[in-house]
Structure 1
Amino acid sequence: MKSKIFNAIFILLLVGSVGQLPAQLSSKLTPSQLTFSDQGNLLSGLTMSIGGLNVQNGFNYSSITDNSISAGGDLQRTISDGSGLTVRNYAAFPASRSNLDLKELTFITSGSGLGGVDQETWTFGITDVGDFDNNDAVQSALSLRYTRVINDIAVFYPLLFVNPEEGNMGMGTYTEDFNAQLYVQEFGQDQIAISGNNTSSSNQQRWGLYGICQGSGTGIRYGVVGQAFTTSGTRYGVLGTADPDFGYAVYASGDMAYTGTLTDVSDRKLKKNISEFSALEKIMRLRPKTYEMRREEFKRMHLAGGKRFGFIAQELQEVFPELVSEQVHAEPYPDGDSLSVEQIDYLGVEYVPMIPILTRAMQEQQVQIEDQEETLARLERDNEQLQRENRVLQDRLDQLEELVKQIQQQTSGGEPTNTVSVSDARLEQNQPNPFGTSTSIPYFIPEGIQSAQLEISDAQGRVLKSVNISARGAGKTILETEFLSGGVYFYSLVLDGKAVDTKKMISVR
């Protein structure tokens, strides 16, 4: 047995002497190890023992033991043991170290050696940090962290955390204990915190971003929250863009409310084909309605409740077709493990443009009112002038009646006759005057008058209506004037075929 071992040693020494002629090789066999050495370099050699294998060549050293494998030297070294794999590189600057153990993969770079004052560390964790046991709450099943030490001050940047117990994933968060299912944050100028871009060309429904918040409880729920706060510049809490011919920049399925202002685009530089329009005639054709929405039949549209005021789109379309357009309600909703969409076509109404339309109608109506007021003032002036003329005529009639009385007395021998005097008759001014649909005409007719009529004539003297009066004494006639248009008219009291008094009245239509 010993001769066979010596023969093997002789062969190994012979091979070694052939490969390294200048070197002197030696070997030694002991009960615990077999050693090969290079006598020309005492730091170089091979040692095999029951505990492992050791090879050393100059500054390079490799070792295999029961618990670890290592390779390298003073400037470069790799160690693999039961806790992981560590690779150090001191030859390059800055110095670096990589370590892979059962919990995380760590990359460390130091400007002045490990543990120095200038150090960067990237840590990729595959489980939570700390001792693992059944009662250990999982904070992070997957994490990526970055730490930089500058002048002994560590700055900690958590980049990615995943919590399987809460179903949370965070990016750019400053703490592992965040309360969000997705939290993404970036730093720097012109950065996007979250960007969802679905470029699918499929004809099926697609979503760039879908947010839902639900569950029991009485707290406030937010599906989407957008905030923008700066000390200057333009701020958009939520920005939605879409071509109005093909979609909606913002579509609300349910009530909308706001605490600020609602501004519509109205700059002249954005408009063309500007022109005036008439509105009063069209406004008079509208038929406003009260109604209630059919909420039970269209539950997913979240229609408004209670009594409403507005227009019926189909009726408004006959007068203002520009204010009515075809709309589509397409709302996604959870359906098992997927999302379904309920689509409803309907007609919508733009109510904001009704403001300038109503403004124009009011302006046109005001012009008509001012014209009517001017006409009424002119008619009142004419009425006052006519009343003055009537008083002059009445004075002349009184004088004529007095002369008639004197003549009658002279022809009858100075004795008064029993003839009824028409001077006792009176015709009062109508009330109201001017009037609309009716007016009252007071009068007094003495006893003994055989016939009495009230005649209505126009400005040309044409008798339009004659009303017989049978009663005597004081009375009045209610004149219904639906047969009269707006203008100046005259009414006369005719007794026994003679007009004893005439007055003017004004009809306003």
Structure 2
Amino acid sequence: MKKSVTLIGVCFVFSGLQAQIKMSPNGNVGIQSSVTAQSALLVGGDQNVNGSGGWKGVFQSNDHGVFVKRNGKTKVTINDLMAIYGENSIDAKKFYIGVKGRSYIKSSLNQGRAWGILGEAGNSTGGYNYAVHGNLRGNQRGAAILGTLDNIDINVPGRYVGYFMGDIRTTGNIYGTVLTPSASRSALMGRSAVMPLSAESDATNSISVVEKLSQLTAVQYNLSEPQAAQAFAASGDTVAAAPRSVTDAQALEKTHYGLDAEVLKEIYPDLVYESQEGDLCINYTEMIPLLVQSVSELRAQVVSLQGTQTYNVRTRNGNETGIGGNALDVPALEQNDPNPFTQTTVVRYTLPESVKSAFLYIYDLNGTQIDQKTLQDRGKSSVTLEAGSLAPGMYLYALVADGKVIDTKRMIITK
């Protein structure tokens, strides 16, 4: 009698398993599925998810999907202990993905949270905890971490740890050296000419950079609660908002300084951008060349003013004369000819006989002296300047007689 009961129990269990596990004639196995498995293993599944598409294992659930946990001591001798490992061998002209995480719906719900891949790590050896680690290998161009907006097929121009196509915003600080593309001819690749920054190069307005910058308005202001945070609080979302970062909290407390973007937009519109939120933003980095140019212009003005001071020399009859005396008794500097020039140019000058020492100094726009010519001749004379190895651009030349700056003028070297 006991054997009969046991046999009945075994048959009942086996019958229950038959209802939960289905093996197709092709060898595929379906578990808790009402459809024929199109993958080697199908757990759950319906008419829309039946394992087709070349999958070996497919899981469908209204609750959690798959839970994998590794814990406890192991006898494995390697250091890398992985809960989930995905490897994809590249062997043809296709897209290869090791691990893909997706949390997405076409229509906007405007509630809840979504993570494609969430990485958490901590409390291992200090300095060696990585929530997400990207490592670019080989020698081909690419990025260890790539960020884009609605685009997955990106041609990365070099080898980078991070490459992002789109705006990047941080509430914290950025540490490191910030590099921007230079105005070198190799960077521009012939798309536009590199011209010296000056009033003459501005076709729309011939006023100097100093005059333009003097029209700008400096302002101070305080930040308010970000609009995104305000909208979050008003939405009635029951999920707790993320706490402010240390830098965020300080930014709300501190007074900030900047330029009035509306005024800057009227003077230098190319330095003003509009953000995705509709705010005006300023490219402060490219204002640095303007500041350098303004310093050069101010210096040239100072040198020019020094050169207009009365220079008294004694004539042959013993009388003193100033600017209004005999032309040969008054030091003077003329504009170089030709100007601009490519190879050589002539600078004419006048020096009285009483001048003991005279020099012609050549400066770049940073105020660095790059050459000097000793002037031996007196009266009306000239000196020839050669472009030599000087790069195309604008330079200053000054006449100095007996330690006094007589005059300063500009010359332009072209390619």
Q: Above 0.5 in TM-score?
A: no
The higher-RCO structure (CA 8 Å, 6+ apart) is 2
- Kindly name which structure, 1 or 2, has the bigger radius of gyration based on alpha carbons: 1
TM-score scaled by length of structure 1: 0.33
TM-score scaled by length of structure 2: 0.39
